[in-house]
Amino acid sequence: METAWVVVIGGGIAGLSVAARLAPRVRVVVLEAESAPGYHASGRSVAFAHYGLGNGPVRDLTALSMGELVAHGSVHPALHIASEAQTGLLDDLEAVHHHYGCDYTRVGAAGAQALMPALREDACLAALVDHGSLKLDTHAMLQAHVATLREHNGKLVTGARVHTIERDGDSWRIGTSKGTFGAAIVVNAAGAWADEIARLAGAAPIGIAPRRRTVISFAAPEGKDVSRWPFTKTVGEGFYILPEGRGQLLASSMDEGASDPCDAAPEELDKAVAADRVEQATTLAIRRIGHAWAGLRSFAPDELPVIGEAAGARGFFWCAGQGGAGFQTSPALSRIAAAAVLGEPFPEDCAAAGLSAAFFSPARLGP
């Protein structure tokens, strides 16, 4: 039986980022069921960091992460657009950008069109340009964490599906399809499967709910270089669209269909709704959807991440519920999770931002 001080279950951004934080201090083994890291949600994101999503604490985590994210991304503007009915939401989002000291500009329809020429005049009454949002290299982020883990004698074991988690004296014994592992601490970073992993360990599930999100890819207008078009997103219900290289565009209707934990696949209706919303709001004609994918964004009932030791399961820590912001919050969230696992104080900068361990503790969600 191979032993480590910490076994992390899940080789997505949640598990790998916390493993990389812990590895210089203690021996860490990451167990991933699939044949490569980032196969599920973490391999299916649109890889953007911005303030246009999430609740207050998620935005705080984003702000606390931006400094580190710069190393893994390039600055690419976000254009948050509002119809007449959405101008209140745009005002709220402007207050958010002001609060975090973002470099932003409020523009009218013409200003929005100057940045995003395909936008129809009637689709946008006002908009906010965030000049500091980031296009992330999520593959590089995952690989950098794997490299840190290995550099410190840690290990990522792929193809290791966890099927049992049992108490063995003061430690845990974890049975997988690649053998048995022993550890003092288990970190549950299993994304959509986090409740299932908790049940295996005899810990109470907390209601982690996976929601499917669909992305379509299609060709940009013939001969047009769209690579500098902003990440364009409606402030409320609607869609987002962003460039993928010079000649491709990605879009989503920001669907949130409830799903069981699974290898998510796009549904025809969700693809059609995304294409329709893009065509309604822009002059783009989507002749053919080249490629589409779906991934699961997993939420706790209050849509905050869940970080901390499970009640009644000593040494079993949650690191789940990253929702739609798992990459952009990972620098701060992994520091919070590592401090919890090591029994160290809550990170000072996170506390100064008004956050505390209680915000993220599984205890807030009841027994």
Q: Does 274 bind ligand FAD (CB under 6 A)?
A: no
Contact 2, 181 (CB under 8 A): yes
CA distance 316 to 362: 11
Nearer to ligand FAD, 97 or 213 (CB): 213
**Nearest Cα to Cα of residue 6 among 141, 163, 149:** 149
Report the nearest approach of ligand FAD to the CB of residue 88 (Å): 24
Nearer to ligand FAD, 126 or 181 (CB): 181
Tell me, by CB under 6 A, how many residues bind ligand FAD. 38
Footprint on residues 98-137 left by ligand FAD (CB under 6 A): none
Report the nearest approach of ligand FAD to the CB of residue 293 (Å): 7
Report the nearest approach of ligand FAD to the CB of residue 216 (Å): 11
Give the x-and-dash track for 318-347 against ligand FAD (CB under 6 A).
----xxxxxxx-------------------
Candidates 189, 249, 310, 341; binder of ligand FAD (CB under 6 A) is: 189
Q: Does 34 bind ligand FAD (CB under 6 A)?
A: yes
Candidates 29, 48, 96, 135; binder of ligand FAD (CB under 6 A) is: 48
Report the nearest approach of ligand FAD to the CB of residue 186 (Å): 11
> Would you state the torsion angle of the CA atoms of residues 326, 328, 331, 332, taken in this order, to the nearest 10 degrees?
-80
Report the nearest approach of ligand FAD to the CB of residue 206 (Å): 14
**Nearest Cα to Cα of residue 80 among 231, 233, 229:** 233
Interacting residues toward ligand FAD by CB under 6 A: 9-15, 31-34, 39-42, 44-48, 161-162, 189-193, 213, 215, 295, 297, 322-328
